[in-house]
Amino acid sequence: MRASIRILLVVLFFSTSLVSLTQAQTKVPDTVVFTNGEQLTGELLKANGGGITFKSAMAGEINVPWANIKTLNSSKSFAILTSKLKVTKKTAALVPQGAITADAKTITVTGPTESKTVPVADANLLVESAVFNKAVNHEPGFTQGWGGAATAGLTVVNSTQNATTFNGGINLTKSTPTVDWLAPRDRTILGYSQSYGTTSQTGTPTVKTDIWQAGLERDQYFSPRLFAAATATFNHSFAQTLQLQQAYGGGIGMTILKNARRQVDARGNIEYTKESFFDATQNVNLIGSTFSEAWVEHLTKKGLVFNEFASLTPSYNIPSDYSLHVNTSLIFPVYKGLGFNAGFVDDYLNNAPAGSNKNSTQFNTGIVYTIKPR
């Protein structure tokens, strides 16, 4: 009995090894032949109307324009997106998928049942079939698809004066779908930032700094550019004796500019704001609006990113009661997802109680971790 089991295990081992070896032998590398006769073997990563991105062991990852390509062959299955078809769940079945052969003028997709040739001029993008089908047919769960950054900084001084200062925050965005080649349907934005510090000295009162801000936004797109926005924001500033400012609103937004490097959004809404101060006699309820813009700029391919947000909140029932907010940051990449952050935050509260400054300014630095959507 034991001998039979040993023989069976040996047979299974060699069978598995043989299958793996056969699969390795039958995997054909992609090839590209240039117009000057040179050839590379490796892997086709992606392509669009301008050219291809090809990775080989000898040349690494390179970008090649279609005009320099004589022939291209890939055994991987790709979906070809064209300018003539708007991709949705209903039209996804019409997108040709299969192995790729191409030259400087045409791309041929060979699927299980048929082949289709598309002019290079009409090709917007080649996407791996597995990525294409997941993006079109898979709805990300609540914890999936979030991207953004988390920052943290700490300063400690022990001397005649003892001081501790902490600043940190997290900003997350989830867009559905998660790829930019499908029309956006909705977007959720979460943000929180805080600065807290104390300075103490023997025989003097302790000085405290405590400022935090939180926000939530839900966008629903009518078109690739136009969306409806529902917002909720919360602010606390010990320096301005503001215990809590809470605002709830809804309005319209527009993506003014969007490409691979930058995105600029503008919003306008109608909102209700309740301001509660440490002195309850200063409390007010406001009906007003918030007009804001957000700008994200990828300055380099290696991860240098500039973020800017600015808003103006006028009040209609108490015109003198308005506020402004500006938040900018520059993220310097260091290693993989880790980086260094330098930020500036300015808040102006026109109805700040007597004895406190209307303007509150912060300069923050710290470590930042970039969170990529999954």
Total domains, the chain? 2
pTM of the complete model beyond 0.85: no
pLDDT tens digits, 187-245: 999 999 999 999 988 888 888 889 999 999 999 999 989 999 999 999 999 888 899 99
CA atoms of 271 and 289, how far apart (whole Å): 5
Say whether both 280 and 325 belong to one domain: yes
CATH code for position 338: 2.40.160.40
Question: Residues in the chain, how many?
Answer: 374
Q: Where are the alpha helices (DSSP H) in 65-188?
A: 129-137
Say whether both 89 and 181 belong to one domain: no
- What average pLDDT does the segment 20-46 reach? 77
Say whether both 121 and 153 belong to one domain: no
- Please report whether residue 331 resides in a domain: yes
- Please report whether residue 13 resides in a domain: no
Average pLDDT, the chain: 87
CA atoms of 111 and 118, how far apart (whole Å): 14
CA 311 to chain centre: 21
- Please report whether residue 2 resides in a domain: no
- Examine the fold and report which residue of 137, 158, 191 is the final residue of a domain before the chain moves on: 137
- Examine the fold and report which residue of 137, 167, 194 is the final residue of a domain before the chain moves on: 137
Q: Which residues pair with 174 in a beta bridge?
A: 146, 188
- Please report whether residue 8 resides in a domain: no
Confidence of residue 6 (pLDDT cuts 50, 70, 90): low
Percent of the chain with pLDDT over 70: 93
- Examine the fold and report which residue of 137, 166, 196 is the final residue of a domain before the chain moves on: 137
Say whether both 362 and 234 belong to one domain: yes
Query: Three-class SS of residue 155?
Result: strand
Looking at the chain, the number of H-run helices and the number of E-run strands are: 2, 21
Say whether both 217 and 336 belong to one domain: yes
- Please report whether residue 364 resides in a domain: yes
Say whether both 255 and 318 belong to one domain: yes
pLDDT tens digits, 277-323: 998 988 999 999 999 999 999 998 778 999 999 999 999 999 999 99
Quote the domain boundaries for residue 87. 29-137
Q: Are 189 and 173 in contact (CB under 8 A)?
A: yes
